[in-house]
Amino acid sequence: MALVGVLALQGSYNEHIAVLRRLGVKGAEIKKPEQLDTVASLIIPGGESTTMAKLAEYHNMFPALREFVKMGKPVWGTCAGLIFLANRATGQKIGGQELVGGLDCMVHRNFFGSQIQSFETELSVPELASKEGGPELCRGVFIRAPAILEVGPEVEVLADYPVPANTWKNSNPGVEGLEDNSGSEKKVIVAVRQGNLLATAFHPELTADTRWHSYFLRMTTETEGASSSIVAVGADLNSNQQTKIDLPVFL
């Protein structure tokens, strides 16, 4: 059974591993470049993106991560992981940060503001529901979250979120594309897929809804060509568990 790797330099990697375990799949902590050779797919969790980037650079992870993406292996970035996967990023700290790239988008690093402006909301996710069943809404947990402002033609938008135009301008002065907005609100993109890459601005691992993880596991089985390569005996990826669980909230 192939392992699902979870980048474990910093952030909510334990929460992702816990969800994978609930689905009958083993998640492996990835802390060194050579460990990527042992996994079929990779989750880059949420956390503090600048800190994660510094740790990844210290451990010489970036060349291996870029090669992993180029090989076509499935990679899912949540929150800070989304920033890692983006080809372009704005709103970074002075000096910027190194990116893995591969995802044809422009991401705003801290679009929704500071820690105290974190929030939860319901998101419309018809594509997720069509593939994994369950309701066409999912709970989105946004913690100092980024947002995608632009995507390329090969990027499929899986979820977006409406933001008042005045809030955009006041919170994000100078962000390209906002000044020309003529309506009262505009949508930012918060979930996308491009080939082997999946990215969410929010934290599915902090909810009881396992469908995003199931969706990612199906991406892996599509790449591998056989579900037995990753799913343990008895695991049911069609199950949409709604039972309330006590997961720690990552800050």
Catalytic option among 15, 105, 138, 203: 203
- Distance, CA of 135 to CA of 104 (rounded, Å): 29
203 is catalytic: yes
Catalytic option among 15, 16, 105, 205: 205
105 is catalytic: no
| Helices 211-224 and 13-22, packing angle to 10 deg | 80
Instruction: Answer for the pair 217, 23: CB distance below 8 angstroms, yes or no.
Output: yes
Cβ-Cβ contacts under 8 Å for 83 (sequence gap 6 or more): 49, 77, 89, 97, 99, 107, 109, 146
| Helices 49-58 and 62-70, packing angle to 10 deg | 100
98 is catalytic: no
The β-bridge relationship of strands 3-7 and 39-44 is: parallel
Catalytic option among 16, 79, 105, 138: 79
Instruction: Answer for the pair 247, 15: CB distance below 8 angstroms, yes or no.
Output: yes
Catalytic residue annotation: 79, 203, 205
